[in-house]
Structure 1
Amino acid sequence: MTPRDDSDGNDNRWSDLDRPPLNAPALRRALVRGGSLWTEVEVVSNTGSTNSDLVARAVDGKLAEGAVLVAEEQSAGRGRLDRRWTAPARSGLFFSVLLRPDDVPLARWGWLPLLTGVAVATGLARAAGVDTALKWPNDLLVTVGDEERKAGGILAERAGDDGVVIGIGINVTLGAQELPVPQAGSLALAGALTTDRDPLLRAVLRSLEDWYGRWRAAEGDPVASGLQETYAAGCATLGRTVRAELPGDRSIVGEAVAVDGDGRLVLATGDGVQEPVGAGDIVHLRPA
């Protein structure tokens, strides 16, 4: 689907006053500046998938690192393993960014989704005042009542030989009756101090710029950059007994005891064996 720009004067832009459109010019003024990672910020009213659009344009060589594509609505939003992500228009933040970490060894690129999780959690905690946690490898959790619920997800995809597109979806104003599944959540349901998407998006992108800069300065070293320690501190999966469901109807049950230097989740099984599981190897991670 071809993206449609949000500045086309369409009569429905202000049809829901509780969910006003993003202010694209103000976002560009705040984020695209000299020395910034962000080189362009485009907001479209709807598209199929911001990740698919940005990957296609990046492969064509038309985009510099730091391009950001935001959609007010996605008709074919995707999570890991092509799982669908749907939400009402302007009810969340649905965006993708292009990174080209060509000075970081390829073996360390697997940390990018985890880095993004840390950046999103940090940015939202500051801007929305919401306690957030990370479920390995790519989910953002908030607390609704006394229950942890998924309010966001991250999807990283290669874009050519030197690029990675990272897609981020965050439920912001979804009410209980709008949730795709009862176990989902949103910033509003978690008691966010604000659900104004403009400052939330700015906070997340600034946090991502900060963490990405630290990681690149350390040549992708998760210890030297502080990423491994920070991720572990905010990871709700650690310390819990989980079932890792793998391809071929295989599974591993064990206590999640660590995230190793390659970003893999380490499970201590009942046999006394420590089994590392990579994000690319897993179908589901569930409580055991």
Structure 2
Amino acid sequence: MFSDLERPPLDARFLSGRLVRPGSFWTQIDVLAETESTNAVVAAAASAGAPEGLVVAAEHQSSGRGRLGRTWTTPARSAVLMSALLRPTGVSPAHWPWLGLLVPLAVAAAVRRVGEIPALVKWPNDVLVEDRKLAGILLERIEGPAAVVGIGLNVTLREAEKPHPAATSLALEGAATTDRATVLAAVLRELSTRYQAWVAADGDPDTILPEYHELSATLGRSVRVELPDGTYLEGTARDLADDGRLIVDTADGPRPLAAGDVTHLRAG
């Protein structure tokens, strides 16, 4: 009997039955009770020759990582924590940065479909409801070439458990479902559809841009961006460059940014 009936464990056999079938993109789904990092597990499997389409989910991560070296911690079985192995070997290297923008789009689309809440994407790789963070994505390029895509999506996180005031979850937003298996399957379906279309088009940004403009919480907003060197700039996030960089119109002219921690500023 589970100590928390609102947080039943994931069933790897059930998920595999829904997602790993002949002709399916996903080749294997493993569920771990606990691990330091699902990204690290998938990266090790990739180095050992695992095929594209491997997914590793975890009920709890003891050393989950986010962008910029931050930690990602959630109570056990309260989130979808998973990593997937992708090998877009036929995509031109110049188009690889777009993969980091494609993944949050897939997560937002899945949340909108099964959760029925208005999720949006924040550049470069967060998923928000209004300005509350619902999910984060960590993409790491490894030898292969290959990419490990880590996704952390809060599902039943409660108000008292929030690691930050700006965090949220499907439960806190009143989503239509908080069943993690349903959410995980929806994310993987949306991801495989977009990823395969992107690969077939050699990573052409036009496979991403229309939906990105539709679901972006950042474009058109006044923003403050902390740059990797610790400096800041402010301006209006106008568009994306051909290589996926965020173009911010500043007092000194447009600045294309490849990386940075974006804060959305409120009008007035």
Shorter-chain TM-score category? over 0.9
Cα-to-partner distance string for 1:46-70 (whole Å, 9 max, x where unaligned): 1000001111221122x10000000
Identity %: 49
**Runs (5+) with no aligned partner, structure 2:** none
Which position in structure 2 is the counterpart of 1:28?
16
Which position in structure 2 is the counterpart of 1:245?
226
Which position in structure 1 is the counterpart of 2:148?
165
Cα-to-partner distance string for 1:206-236 (whole Å, 9 max, x where unaligned): 000100011011110011x2x0121121111
- Which residues of 2 match residues 137-156 of structure 1 at below 5 A? 137-143=124-130, 148-156=131-139
1:231 alignment partner, one of 212, 218, 225: 212
Residues of 2 paired with 1:112 and 1:262: CA distance? 11
Secondary structure of the corresponding residue to residue 253 of structure 1: strand
Cα-to-partner distance string for 1:122-161 (whole Å, 9 max, x where unaligned): 1111111111011100111014xxxx20011000011213
- Which residues of 2 match residues 94-133 of structure 1 at below 5 A? 94-133=81-120
TM-score (norm 2): 0.96
Residues of 2 paired with 1:276 and 1:87: CA distance? 34
**Which amino acid is the alignment partner of residue 78 of structure 2?**
S
**Which amino acid is the alignment partner of residue 65 of structure 1?**
E
Which position in structure 2 is the counterpart of 1:15?
3
Shift of 1:277: 0.3
Residues of 2 paired with 1:37 and 1:209: CA distance? 7
Which position in structure 1 is the counterpart of 2:171?
188
Secondary structure of the corresponding residue to residue 249 of structure 1: coil
1:68 alignment partner, one of 55, 58, 62: 55
Cα-to-partner distance string for 1:16-73 (whole Å, 9 max, x where unaligned): 1110011211100110111111000000111000001111221122x10000000010
CA contact (8 A) 2:87 2:144 kept: no
**Which amino acid is the alignment partner of residue 247 of structure 2?**
V
CA contact (8 A) 1:228 1:261 kept: no
Which position in structure 1 is the counterpart of 2:262?
285
Residues of 1 paired with 2:204 and 2:29: CA distance? 29
**Which amino acid is the alignment partner of residue 59 of structure 1?**
S
Residues of 2 paired with 1:249 and 1:92: CA distance? 31
Residues of 1 paired with 2:229 and 2:109: CA distance? 36
Residues of 2 paired with 1:120 and 1:190: CA distance? 16
**Which amino acid is the alignment partner of residue 49 of structure 1?**
S
Shift of 1:247: 2.9
Matched residues, number: 265
CA contact (8 A) 1:243 1:253 kept: yes
Does 1:208 find its partner at 2:191?
A: yes
**Which amino acid is the alignment partner of residue 83 of structure 1?**
R
**Which amino acid is the alignment partner of residue 254 of structure 2?**
Q
Residues of 2 paired with 1:126 and 1:247: CA distance? 35
Cα-to-partner distance string for 1:57-100 (whole Å, 9 max, x where unaligned): 21122x10000000010000000122000000000100000000
Residues of 2 paired with 1:171 and 1:17: CA distance? 17
Shift of 1:252: 2.1
Residues of 2 paired with 1:253 and 1:154: CA distance? 24
CA contact (8 A) 2:86 2:147 kept: yes
- Which residues of 2 match residues 36-47 of structure 1 at below 5 A? 36-47=24-35
**Which amino acid is the alignment partner of residue 50 of structure 1?**
T
Residues of 2 paired with 1:140 and 1:252: CA distance? 22
Task: Say what the alpha-carbon RMSD is for the aligned residues.
Answer: 1.2
CA contact (8 A) 1:40 1:66 kept: yes
Which position in structure 2 is the counterpart of 1:276?
256
Which position in structure 2 is the counterpart of 1:255?
236
CA contact (8 A) 1:232 1:259 kept: no
TM-score (norm 1): 0.89
Secondary structure of the corresponding residue to residue 77 of structure 1: coil
Residues of 1 paired with 2:242 and 2:197: CA distance? 16
